[in-house]
Amino acid sequence: MQFNTHSSLPVNLVHRLWDRRNIPFYSNSVFLISHSGATAGIAFLFWVVATRSFSPEEVGISSALISAAALLSFFARFGMGDGIVRYLGSRKDDPSRLINSVFLATGAAAILV
């Protein structure tokens, strides 16, 4: 029995992903992951600039206010963004109705929160 000491796993993985680039599921997944990574990177840069530009007290108050606003936004959304990602592809007849319903429900929840 021989063992392959030179693993080609990364090369095979890259080839498999490249072959699937035209499949919407994979390309959309890569887009969503890239978007999340870019958002996190921009937020990190924002806080680096903020900590160098303002006093610790101002940064602390600002971060607390931003965290409170994000928490309220999280409660108001009720996971509707994930619902759109999940159900929009299966809605062949009228996807705009689903989107409008999500906007209406999220807007009403935001007013209540």
pLDDT tens for 23-65 read 888 888 888 899 999 999 999 999 999 999 999 999 999 999 9
pLDDT tens for 57-105 read 999 999 999 999 999 888 888 888 888 878 887 877 778 888 888 889 8
Residue type, 42: I
Taking 70 as the threshold, does the pLDDT of residue 6 lie above it? no
Give residue 8's pLDDT. 63
